[in-house]
């Protein structure tokens, strides 16, 4: 039976979060880019639906937020700095059912922000503008700091979230030296192959941007291209002792990912 005090605390927390949606977001900036105001204007209920226990409701809310924040992924729209803290908060909350999808949106925003920063003034080919609002860099910096602890999010089954966080943080190229150190440290403790592979790919993405850690990152990736980890899993039925010993070891065979990452690391900017 559910503890009434726990239920009360959950309701209180939910009410507090809902109040923050209304108080901390400038909803005049959160609009559907394809629909003119007022029909395309969103409100706090959009973020409320992101926390819905119903997967379809949460996914629909995420899709609306994605297009409001970055359209087709080409630019950072004014909505992005407004809702970014809550997108990160949603990723940090295991109760949210669309955490990997939100991380894909964060990766798209990070890429668009990088392109906007690097773009020359004026429209690009086809008349397309790579833009980001003035509030974006500071909002993104805060998001990076909030996402870093999730590299060690060891909630069972959340390796997709850890992998997604590594992919997002790999876009923070201006912090390459700092993040490479975090990725290398996490790799040593990462229990899931998919997340370990993404950490390797992230090191490859950041290495060309690093100053102090570039040579070390390249050397580490070279080692991963020949490291078989703990090898193939023994058949438990044939030799239970060998299987138990294998299970107690740590180490992943990430050679395919390391080859891809090394090629990226060695490419000039």
> What distance in Å separates the CA atoms of residue 73 and residue 69, rounded to the nearest whole number?
8
What does the pLDDT read at residue 263?
97
DSSP codes of every residue in the chain:
---HHHHHHHHHHHHHHHHHHHHH--GGG-B-TTS-TTTTB--THHHHHHT-SSHHHHHHHHHHHHHHHHTTTTS--THHHHHHHHHHHHHH-TT-TTHHHHHHHHHHHHHHHHHHHHSPSS--GGG------TTHHHHHHHHHHHHGGGGG---TTTHHHHHHHHHHHTT-GGGHHHHHHHHHHHHTT---HHHHHHHHHHHHHHGGG-SSSHHHHHHHHHHHTT--TT-SPPPTTT-HHHHHHHHH------HHHHHHHHHHHTS--
Residues 6+ apart with CB under 8 A from 70: 76, 77, 80, 105, 108, 109, 112
Q: What percent of the chain has pLDDT over 70?
A: 87
Report, as an integer, the average pLDDT of 15-25. Answer: 91
Residue 134 makes CB contacts below 8 A (sequence gap 6+) with none
Q: Does residue 157 surpass a pLDDT of 60? A: no
pLDDT tier, 11 (very low <50, low <70, confident <90, very high otherwise): very low
Q: What is the mean pLDDT of residues 228-232?
A: 77
pLDDT the model gives residue 124 = 55
Whether 3 shows a pLDDT value over 60: the answer reads no
Arithmetic mean of pLDDT, 222-229: 92
Q: How confident is the model at residue 228, as a pLDDT?
A: 85
| Average pLDDT over every residue of 6-22 | 66
- Only one residue has tokens 């490419």, namely 267
- Work out the mean pLDDT of the chain and round it to a whole number: 87
Give 243's pLDDT tier (boundaries 50, 70, 90).
Answer: confident
pTM: 0.85
pLDDT the model gives residue 191: 86
Diameter of the chain by CA atoms? Answer: 68
Statement: residue 32 has pLDDT above 80: yes
| Cα 258 to Cα 178: distance, rounded to the nearest angstrom | 20
Q: Mean pLDDT throughout 36-52?
A: 89
Averaged pLDDT, 162-169: 96
Q: At what angle do helices 79-92 and 4-24 cross, to 10 degrees?
A: 160
**pLDDT tens-digit readout, 97-155:** 999 999 999 999 999 999 888 765 555 554 456 789 999 999 999 999 999 999 987 75
Query: CA 3 to CA 12: how far, in whole Å?
Result: 14
């Amino acid at each position: 039976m559910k503890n009434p005090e726990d239920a009360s605390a959950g309701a209180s927390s939910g009410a507090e979060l809902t109040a923050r949606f209304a108080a901390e977001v400038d909803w005049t900036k959160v609009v559907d880019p394809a629909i003119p105001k007022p029909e395309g204007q969103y409100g706090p209920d959009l973020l409320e639906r992101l926390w819905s226990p119903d997967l379809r409701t949460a996914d629909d809310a995420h899709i609306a937020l994605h297009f409001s924040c970055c359209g087709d992924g080409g630019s950072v729209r004014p909505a992005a700095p407004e809702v970014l803290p809550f997108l990160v908060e949603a990723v940090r909350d295991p109760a949210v059912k669309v955490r990997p999808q939100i991380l894909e949106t964060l990766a798209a925003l990070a890429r668009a922000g990088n392109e906007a920063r690097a773009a020359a003034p004026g429209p690009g080919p086809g008349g397309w503008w790579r833009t980001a609002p003035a509030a974006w860099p500071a909002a993104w910096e805060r998001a990076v700091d909030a996402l870093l602890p999730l590299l060690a999010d060891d909630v069972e089954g959340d390796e997709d979230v850890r992998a997604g966080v590594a992919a997002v943080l790999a876009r923070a190229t201006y912090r390459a030296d700092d993040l490479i150190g975090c990725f290398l440290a996490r790799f040593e403790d990462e229990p899931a192959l998919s997340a370990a592979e993404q950490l390797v790919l992230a090191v490859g993405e950041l290495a060309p941007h690093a100053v102090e850690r570039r040579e070390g990152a390249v050397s580490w990736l070279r080692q991963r291209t020949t490291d078989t980890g703990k090898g193939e899993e023994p058949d438990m039925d044939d030799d239970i002792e060998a299987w138990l010993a294998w299970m107690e070891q740590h180490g992943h065979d990430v050679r395919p990912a390391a080859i891809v990452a090394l090629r990226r690391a060695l490419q000039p900017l």
